[in-house]
Amino acid sequence: MKRSERPYRRSQERRLLFLLFVFFFLTIIIAVRLFMLQIVRAEELKRIAAKQLNFSVYLAAKRGEIFDRNYQPLAISIEVEDVKIDPFYIENPKKVAAELSKILNLPQREILYKINRAIKKIGKEKHGELIIALKVDKKITKKIKELIKKKLVKKEKDFRSIYFAPNYIRFYPHGDLAAPVLGVVGSEPRVAEGLGLYYEPKAREGLELYYDRYLAGKAGWMSFERMGGSEPIPGGSQKLVRPVDGLSVVTTIDKEIQYQAEQSLKKALKQYRAKRATAIVMNPRTGEILALAIAPSFDANKFQKFSLEERKNWALTEFYEPGSTMKVAVISAAIEEKRFRPNSRLYLPSKLKVGRYTIGEAHYRPAGNYTVETILVKSYNIGSSLIAKSLGKKCVYEYYRSFGFGQKTGIDFPGETRGKLPELKYWSDSTIYTISYGQGIGVTPLQMLLMVSTIANDGVKVRPHFLKEVVDKRGKIIKRFESDLGEKVLTTRTSSEIKNMLAKVTIDGTGKEAAIKGYQVAGKTGTALKPRPGGGYQKGAYVASFVGFAPVRDPQLAAIVVLDEPKNGYFGGVVAAPIFKEIMEFSLRHLKIPSDKVE
């Protein structure tokens, strides 16, 4: 080798060594990189890839139905679809928004705003989802699906972004019928990994809420590998957790009686210009609620337009001062304790001075001797006051408690109030008098109905309830209401004597307007001033009521009607008794309960 060639060869060797070093270095970097990707970050990258490729859909469970006692539907679930968009496939948001706007009947700018917001938040290089419209009728989504097919044929790939998720909408076939009893179901947003944003049904009030554990069911989900939009890759991996549909609830409500009660109350509001009204019809033997009506009511299908106050079932969640219907409890206690008999006589002054208060009657009554029966039939305040005084505070308080005042009835409904029965230590010298004719005590309409039903049921108190059965979709009974044995509050003899006295209220007393041709009706009127929040009573503001049962010989139905602040008349016997008659007469005929007419 020539000497001049040696430097050149050494230069080549250095270049080769340098290239070998670079190649070795790059090999090390690649190896490290591969190690990081395949070993260290394998799971992380696998999750990222799966997130891009896999697609998960929330599968709503079908909520169970609510039926009346004759299996007439009161609340059902209708299958619909949610319309969603994956911004990854959108290149022309305005075009997609314009086409969807025509079918969904939504403003184009609203849809475009949602799409642009999603693109900004998720990014066009990433998959994600955006809800365009919730719970859309399947007739409408069918039109969108037809649109997508046409657009994809024209290779307008933007429309691959639209997909659908199955869902259900709660529907009440009769609108406002029993709405405060049934309650409502709304939606609550949820976010879950893999599912993104979805809306879960949320029971808010009434029987929908109380029996949600049966009705709700359990949601599922579906996961699969996709090509674009929500189209699965043939042969790709899939996972499915099927939703479990809810059970159905059969209530004790009779749809026809419920409807009649609501119509009667609507008429009463108009006729007497009352603020609001309620009516309850119950089987006094079993505690089954056949109807509970509130007026004014609301359309359960449009519940968002009504406030919580407007949707309230105040027959169970609020209390009122009942007035003279409370005399039934006082006189029942007096006869049960053998202090008086129905024909026992008491001297009643025209007015009774109690401290700085004077007790009078609703209508003039001369001083004289009157029987206990007359005191109840004619509803004399002074008579009930003197009877209560003779029994004593403790005795009256204990009987009020045994009838259920000042405590929950245990009805299967959320938010029931206890009412207001002052503890004995808070009773003033005048309380024993005023509480005997229903002032200074707060009761719910249901508590008052329960007290009269106890008398109708021979002194046995039952638990009022709405549940009859829980059934699956095949009609198999999963659960039945288990009736309580009932507490014996009065003897059968006392109950019988009170029944006879209450029957005379509708013949020769304050409740003549409640009499029904062909039936013996027992009942009691109530008229009470409304208390003022700061103390005392509101001038000219009354609560009028009538509570009773029929037929007297074998009581099958008990009912109460309460009108809050009627203007065209305010006595219970004038405004509430006729409404009671209308509802009770229909119910007796509807259920084909035999007449007990006494000629």
Residue 470 confidence (pLDDT) above 70: yes
Give CA separation, 324 vs 215, 379, 441, 550, in Å: 41, 7, 12, 20
Q: For residue 540, with 0-12 CB atoms within 10 Å meaning exposed, 13-18 middle and 19 or more buried, which class applies?
A: exposed
Give CA separation, 428 vs 97, 191, 357, 438, in Å: 72, 57, 12, 15
Query: Which residues, at least 6 apart from 369, have a Cβ–Cβ distance to it below 8 Å?
Result: 345, 346, 347, 348
**Amino acid making up residue 583:** I
Beta bridge partners of residue 84, listed in sequence order? 131, 163
pLDDT for the residue numbered 291: 98
Average pLDDT (273-283) is 97
- In this structure, of 153-162, 316-325, 504-513, the range with the lowest mean pLDDT score is 153-162
Average pLDDT (241-264) is 96
Name the percent of the chain lying above pLDDT 90: 65
**Amino acid making up residue 104:** L
Q: What three-state secondary structure class fits 479?
A: strand
Which contiguous run of DSSP H or E holds residue 100? helix 93-104
Contact between 512 and 482 (Cβ < 8 Å):
no
Parallel/antiparallel/unpaired status of strands 54-59 and 220-228: antiparallel
- The pLDDT mean for the chain works out to 88
- In this structure, of 40-49, 127-136, 431-440, the range with the lowest mean pLDDT score is 40-49
Cis peptide before 107 (omega within 30 of 0): no
pLDDT for the residue numbered 133: 86
Contact between 525 and 570 (Cβ < 8 Å):
no
DSSP code at position 69: T
Average pLDDT (153-166) is 81
Residue 159 confidence (pLDDT) above 90: no
Residue 594 confidence (pLDDT) above 50: yes
Alpha-carbon gap, residue 274 to 65, rounded angstroms: 34
Give CA separation, 343 vs 350, 372, 491, 497, 501, in Å: 20, 6, 18, 11, 10
- In this structure, of 59-73, 105-119, 293-307, 324-338, the range with the lowest mean pLDDT score is 105-119
Higher pLDDT, 189 or 349: 349
- In this structure, of 24-38, 148-162, 490-504, 569-583, the range with the lowest mean pLDDT score is 24-38
Average pLDDT (284-308) is 96
Query: Which residues, at least 6 apart from 426, have a Cβ–Cβ distance to it below 8 Å?
Result: none
pLDDT for the residue numbered 200: 82
pLDDT for the residue numbered 123: 59
Residue 236 confidence (pLDDT) above 80: no
* pLDDT tens-digit readout, 516-564: 999 999 999 999 999 988 888 999 999 999 999 999 999 999 999 999 9
Residue 351 confidence (pLDDT) above 90: yes
Alpha-carbon gap, residue 260 to 367, rounded angstroms: 43
**Which residue ranges form the domains of the chain, and what is each CATH number?**
54-226+236-251 (3.90.1310.10), 255-322+333-339+399-416+442-590 (3.40.710.10)
pLDDT for the residue numbered 154: 81
In the chain, how long is the greatest CA-to-CA distance? Answer: 155
Query: Which residues, at least 6 apart from 361, have a Cβ–Cβ distance to it below 8 Å?
Result: 350, 380, 381, 382
Query: Which residues, at least 6 apart from 57, have a Cβ–Cβ distance to it below 8 Å?
Result: 165, 166, 195, 221, 222, 223, 230
Quickly state the pLDDT bin for 5 (edges 50, 70, 90).
low
Quickly state the pLDDT bin for 303 (edges 50, 70, 90).
very high
pLDDT for the residue numbered 229: 46
* pLDDT tens-digit readout, 85-124: 877 778 888 888 898 999 998 898 998 888 887 777 765 5
**Three-state secondary structure along 527-588?**
EEEEECCCCCEEEEEEEEEEEEEECCCCCCEEEEEEEECCCCCCCHHHHHHHHHHHHHHHHH
pLDDT for the residue numbered 546: 98
pLDDT for the residue numbered 573: 95
Average pLDDT (241-266) is 96
Query: Which residues, at least 6 apart from 410, have a Cβ–Cβ distance to it below 8 Å?
Result: 463, 464
Average pLDDT (207-230) is 79
Contact between 586 and 559 (Cβ < 8 Å):
no
The Cβ-side half-sphere exposure at 127, using a 13 Å CA radius, reads 22
**Amino acid making up residue 416:** E
Higher pLDDT, 90 or 255: 255
Higher pLDDT, 115 or 507: 507
Beta bridge partners of residue 289, listed in sequence order? 282
Among 2-16, 18-32, 37-51, 201-215, top mean pLDDT goes to: 201-215
- In this structure, of 28-32, 487-491, 558-562, the range with the lowest mean pLDDT score is 28-32
- In this structure, of 115-124, 206-215, 463-472, the range with the lowest mean pLDDT score is 115-124
Tell me the CA end-to-end span of the chain in Å, nearest whole number. 148
Q: For residue 383, with 0-12 CB atoms within 10 Å meaning exposed, 13-18 middle and 19 or more buried, which class applies?
A: buried
Give CA separation, 410 vs 315, 397, 476, in Å: 14, 20, 27
- In this structure, of 49-63, 210-224, 490-504, the range with the lowest mean pLDDT score is 49-63
Residue 423 confidence (pLDDT) above 90: yes
Higher pLDDT, 362 or 468: 468
pLDDT for the residue numbered 44: 56
Residue 48 confidence (pLDDT) above 60: no
Residue 134 confidence (pLDDT) above 50: yes
Quickly state the pLDDT bin for 306 (edges 50, 70, 90).
very high
Of 56, 102, 62, the C-alpha closest to 79 is 62
Quickly state the pLDDT bin for 199 (edges 50, 70, 90).
confident
